[in-house]
Amino acid sequence: MLLYHTSDIEIRRPDIHFGRKNADFGWGFYLSPDREFTYRWARENAVVNEYELDLSGLEVRGFSRDIDWFMYIFNNRRGCDSLSADVIKGPIANDTIFDTLGIISSGFLKPEDALALLMIGPEYTQVALKTQRAADNLRWLGSERISRAGGEQLKSEQESYREAFLAELERIVE
């Protein structure tokens, strides 16, 4: 499986314990199989690292945009990673996940309504390496420094998404 990771440095040997503990899939090293998305995510002077992951012998858990995915992310964002797997693959929660989680935590929305909000917008995939065993199966293939920022198209998508999110939220609360 070919995967990509955007950073400000070349990363030949990733550290699965670096980064936020309360990310979508908990602590881990995050990659994407979507090369185009990775380049669009890149800031100016970013480094896009390319890898090959051998899944042989690894326990892999996959999610789709459904209630199980939502609840797993909801729990991880609260620091409660309860899933044991070497690799977790699934959709990236959009930027309004914080808003959605805040709304659901306050009791304002049911999980089903929050999930409806998260179904809006494009779906991008992330792969989280959760164990050292998974990191050991990752082979660095090379990297490319990006001199231009790729975020303009992403900003436009996010603005469209936020508009659709607000419209859906208004529909839900009526």
pLDDT in tens, 77-104: 888 877 889 999 999 887 555 566 666 6
Candidate from 34-48, 59-73, 101-115, 129-143 with smallest mean pLDDT:
101-115
Cα-Cα-Cα-Cα torsion 94, 17, 57, 126, nearest 10 degrees, comes to: 10
pLDDT in tens, 131-146: 999 999 999 999 999 8
For residues 97 and 58, the model is more confident at: 58
CB 39 within 8 A of CB 33: no
pTM of the model: 0.84
Q: What is the pLDDT of residue 152?
A: 61
pLDDT tops 60 at residue 116: yes
Distance CA 87, CA 49 (A): 18
Strand 46-53 versus strand 2-7 pairing type: antiparallel
How would DSSP label each residue in 83-110?
Answer: ---SEEEEEPPPTTHHHHHHHHHTTSS-
Average pLDDT over residues 51-60: 97
Lowest mean pLDDT among 5-19, 88-102, 111-125, 127-141: 88-102
Spatial distance between the Cα atoms of 28 and 93, rounded to a whole number of angstroms: 16
Q: What is the C-alpha separation between 48 and 6, in angstroms, rounded?
A: 4
Quick one: tokens of 85?
Answer: 């797997």
Output phi, psi for 162, to 5 deg: -60, -40
